[in-house]
């Protein structure tokens, strides 16, 4: 199928492009950096330089790509926790999730896409009994940076899950680790290796039913029973790229 991958040069996107291409999908991948376009082409994608916050340019890119499905792997988090720029990065990332996702969904709908898979997070559940499953509430009474993150996540999930006629799928990822992330090893529960996270997006695209899926390793924080049963998710997957 024709797939529009928003965030194709990010931690998950750069792993996902080769997976999609090897499966025979026609991939259009976005980046905000002209310097990264050649790398996308080398991986087998058609590169598009566009900022998701530019609604008009994004709509043109989607119209040209005519995707059957859209995968949202966009983030704006250049600085890790405890480093300069982290707080500002969280604000930008929340705006991307709120405004950027809305732009992406609107443009995807006009372009005729029928399926949307989007990146969310699995570490924002409200305090309560664990492991959390997908029906548990998010921590909407949080304060500070956590509240900002939850506002962005809830806006993203609402847009993806509640915009007909899309089949909307939300992947709630644990904390990433692996090459290119902030962590070499699993930092805390829930965590997920970036390779397994990318593979989960491929599974969601090809076989997932609409809804929310926790994507993490086996620990006490969240339940991945739904992802295992419906998607065939395996947290031990590692990619040979």
Beta strands in the chain (DSSP E): 2-6, 26-31, 46-49, 69-72, 115-121, 167-173, 175-177, 191-193, 211-215
Query: CA-to-CA distance for 25 and 30, rounded, in angstroms?
Result: 16
Tokens 């699993």, located at residue: 186
Tell if the pTM clears 0.85, that is, is over it: yes
Residues 6+ positions from 214 with CB-CB distance below 8 Å = 122, 132, 133, 134, 172, 174, 190, 222, 223, 224, 226, 227
Tell me which residue of 130, 129, 150, 149 sits closest to 138, measured CA to CA: 150
Residue 230 has a pLDDT of: 98
Residue 240 has a pLDDT of: 80
pLDDT band at 123 (very low <50, low <70, confident <90, very high): very high
Query: CA-to-CA distance for 11 and 104, rounded, in angstroms?
Result: 19
Residue 87 has a pLDDT of: 77
Q: Which range, of 127-131, 171-175, 201-205, 216-220, averages the lowest pLDDT?
A: 216-220
Q: Does residue 85 carry a pLDDT above 80?
A: no
Q: Does residue 79 carry a pLDDT above 70?
A: no
Q: Find residue 141's DSSP bridge partners.
A: none
CATH placement of domain 2-231: 3.40.50.720
pLDDT band at 86 (very low <50, low <70, confident <90, very high): confident
Buried b (16+ CB within 10 A) or exposed e, 176-200: bbbeebeeeebeebbbbbbbbbbbb
Residue 84 has a pLDDT of: 74
pLDDT, greater one: 240 or 35: 35
Residue 120 has a pLDDT of: 98
**109 exposed, middle or buried (CB, 10 Å; 0-12, 13-18, 19+)?**
middle
Helix, strand, or coil (residue 117): strand
Tokens 């928003």, located at residue: 6
What are the sequence ranges of the domains in the chain? Answer: 2-231
pLDDT band at 241 (very low <50, low <70, confident <90, very high): low
pLDDT in tens, 164-178: 999 999 999 999 999
């Amino acid at each position: 199928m024709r797939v529009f991958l928003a965030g194709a040069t990010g931690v998950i996107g750069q792993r996902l492009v080769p997976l999609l291409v090897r499966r025979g999908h026609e991939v259009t991948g976005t980046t905000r950096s002209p310097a990264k376009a050649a790398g996308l082409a080398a991986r087998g994608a058609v590169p598009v330089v566009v900022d998701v916050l530019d609604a008009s340019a994004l709509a043109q890119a989607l119209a040209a790509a005519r995707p059957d499905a859209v995968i949202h792997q966009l983030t704006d988090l250049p600085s890790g926790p405890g480093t300069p720029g982290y707080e500002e990065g969280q604000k930008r990332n929340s705006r991307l999730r709120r405004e950027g996702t809305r732009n992406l969904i609107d443009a995807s709908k006009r372009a005729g896409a029928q399926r949307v898979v989007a990146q969310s997070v699995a570490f924002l559940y409200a305090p309560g009994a664990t492991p959390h499953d997908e029906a548990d509430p998010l921590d909407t009474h949080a304060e500070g940076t956590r509240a900002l993150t939850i506002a962005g996540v809830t806006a993203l999930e609402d847009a993806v899950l509640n915009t007909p006629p899309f089949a909307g799928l939300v992947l709630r990822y644990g904390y990433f680790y692996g090459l290119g992330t902030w962590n070499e090893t699993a930092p805390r529960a829930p965590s997920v290796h970036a390779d397994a996270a990318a593979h989960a997006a491929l599974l969601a695209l090809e076989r997932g039913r609409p809804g929310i899926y926790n994507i993490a390793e086996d620990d006490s924080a969240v339940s991945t029973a739904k992802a295992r049963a419906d998607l065939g998710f395996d947290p031990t997957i590692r990619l040979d790229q």
